[in-house]
Amino acid sequence: GNSVTQMEGPVTLSEEAFLTINCTYTATGYPSLFWYVQYPGEGLQLLLKATKADDKGSNKGFEATYRKETTSFHLEKGSVQVSDSAVYFCALSRRGSQGNLIFGKGTKLSVKP
């Protein structure tokens, strides 16, 4: 079946540290891949996406590259800020489906000043 596995949190970093949140997936065919973010007290927001192998999604300093050979979509940011504190969800959507998302369990990130 289709599934997403992401590293468990919580992750605590100091401001300006490098961030990596690992995400691997299992899917039939070639899914689209997403990172969603949930800031405290807010709804889920799309952070970035990639729709085919070797695509790189980027937004707000975050990046993730669709790696078909390793079935991965790791999230990275070179220098985190306190305002990046949130829960991050990796997700996939099967190509040709109606678009419903399959999410990982989420990784809580806390950035300390």
Residues 6+ apart with CB under 8 A from 11: 19, 21, 107, 108, 109, 110
| Cβ proximity to another protein, 92 vs 111, nearer residue | 92
Q: Helix, strand, or coil here: 99?
A: coil
Of 17 and 71, CB closest to another protein: 71
Site for another protein in 42-101 (CB under 8 A): 42-46, 49, 51, 89, 91, 93, 96-101
Q: Does 110 bind another protein (CB under 8 A)?
A: no
Distance between CA atoms of 31 and 55, rounded to whole angstroms? Answer: 12
In angstroms, give the least distance from the CB of 103 to another protein: 3
Shortest Cβ 107–another protein spacing (Å): 10
What contacts 87, CB < 8 A, 6 or more positions away? 9, 37, 38, 106, 107, 108, 109
On the CB side of 17, how many CA atoms lie within 13 Å of its CA?
16
Give me the residues that bind another protein (CB under 8 A), please: 4, 32, 36, 42-46, 49, 51, 89, 91, 93, 96-106
